[in-house]
Amino acid sequence: MNFDVQTLRWYVAVAEELHFARAAKSLNIARTKLSGAIIDMEAQLGYSLFVPGASPTQLTERGAELLSSARILVAEDDERARIQAAEASTQTHTLTVGFTEGVTPTKWARIWNERFPDVALDLVPTTVETQLKLIHDGSVDIGFVRLPIERDGLDVVGLYEEVPVVVVPKEHPVAAFDRIGVVDLADEHLLQAPEIVPEWASIATEVADGSAAPLPPTGSNEELIEYVAAGLGIAIVPQSIARLHARKDLLYRPVDGVAGSPIAIAWPTGRASAHVEEFFGIVRGRSVRSSRGTSPTASSTPPTKKPKSGAPAKKTTGAKKTTGGGKQARTTTRGKRPNR
Tell me the C-alpha distance between 265 and 259, whole Å: 19
CA distances from 93 to 84, 88, 109, 148, 338 (A): 15, 9, 15, 32, 24
pLDDT of residue 322: 43
Sheet order of strands, 320-321 included: 235-238, 164-169, 250-256, 177-181, 320-321
DSSP code at position 1: -
Least confident among 64-68, 249-253, 288-292? 288-292
According to DSSP, the residues that pair with 251 across neighbouring strands are 168
Label residue 86 by pLDDT band (50, 70, 90): confident
- C-alpha dihedral (281, 282, 284, 290), degrees to nearest 10: 60
Give 295-322 pLDDT, tens digit per residue: 455 544 444 444 444 444 444 444 444 4
The pLDDT of 278-306, averaged and rounded, is 65
User: Which of 227-236, 299-308, 326-335 is the most confident on average?
Assistant: 227-236
Tell me the C-alpha distance between 141 and 122, whole Å: 10
Least confident among 27-31, 185-189, 324-328? 324-328
DSSP code at position 29: S
Give 6-38 pLDDT, tens digit per residue: 999 999 999 999 999 999 999 999 999 999 999
Contacts of 329 (CB under 8 A, 6+ apart): none
Tell whether the model's pLDDT for residue 92 goes beyond 80: no
Tell me the C-alpha distance between 25 and 93, whole Å: 37
Q: Model pTM greater than 0.75? A: no
Instruction: Select from 3.40.190.10, 3.20.20.140, 1.10.357.140, 3.40.718.10 the CATH code of 93-153+273-283.
Output: 3.40.190.10
Domain extents in the chain: 5-90, 93-153+273-283, 164-259+315-321
Per CATH, which fold does 164-259+315-321 belong to? D-Maltodextrin-Binding Protein; domain 2 (3.40.190)
